[in-house]
Amino acid sequence: MQKLLNYKKEIAFSIALVFLLAIIRAFEDLFYDPFLNYFKTDYSNLPFPEYDSLKLFFSLLLRYALNSIVSLAIIQVLFKDFSLTKFASVLYLIFFIILIIAFFVILTFSAEANNLLLFYVRRFLIQPLFVLLFVPAFYYQKQLEKKNNKS
């Protein structure tokens, strides 16, 4: 009975964490992002909006960090493996560095013709997409480990 109760707690905590991700998304207007309205329009022929680079960087950093922390909590709740969570946190850091550099390189050195590329790089920075990739990958890895341990 206690095991079942623990399982219910994990489900409830996971749902609460997913709800927290939804709250971050719902309050996206609180973050500085001049591209929010830009990408809601027919942006294919529009020039990039005016932006403050430093303010945009810290806003993207804050949003990415919030999404990453909640995503790492989801991974920890689901897998209960600190080394896996630590590995995921390193991946989050590496991906942030790559994506933020790509974002500002595209923004600075590319013409508006690459606005679709900017759209997707920005999407990975502001949305918790990596958790959708990491959870199935880590689950698959755990299943392989169980299978190899039985052999």
pLDDT computed for residue 73 by the predictor: 98
Is 90 exceeded by the pLDDT of residue 65? yes
Is 90 exceeded by the pLDDT of residue 39? no
Cα–Cα distance, 16 to 49 (Å, whole number): 36
91 vs 108, higher pLDDT = 91
| Cβ neighbours of residue 150 closer than 8 Å, sequence gap 6 or more | none
53: its two tokens: 């680079």
- Condensed to tens digits (0 to 9), the pLDDT of residues 107-146 reads 988 766 678 889 999 999 999 999 999 999 999 999 998 8
Q: At 113, phi and psi to the nearest 5?
A: -65, -25
146 vs 54, higher pLDDT = 54
Q: Which of 73, 67, 53 is nearest to 96 (CA)?
A: 67
148 vs 87, higher pLDDT = 87
- Condensed to tens digits (0 to 9), the pLDDT of residues 9-26 reads 888 999 999 999 999 999
Q: Looking at the whole model, is its pTM more than 0.85?
A: yes
Q: Which amino acid is at 87?
A: F
Cα–Cα distance, 24 to 81 (Å, whole number): 25
Burial class (CB in 10 A: 0-12, 13-18, 19+), 100: middle
Ranked by mean pLDDT, the top range of 5-9, 11-15, 46-50 is: 11-15
Is 80 exceeded by the pLDDT of residue 72? yes
> Counting every residue, how long is the chain?
151
Burial class (CB in 10 A: 0-12, 13-18, 19+), 60: buried
At residue 78, the 3 state secondary structure works out as: helix
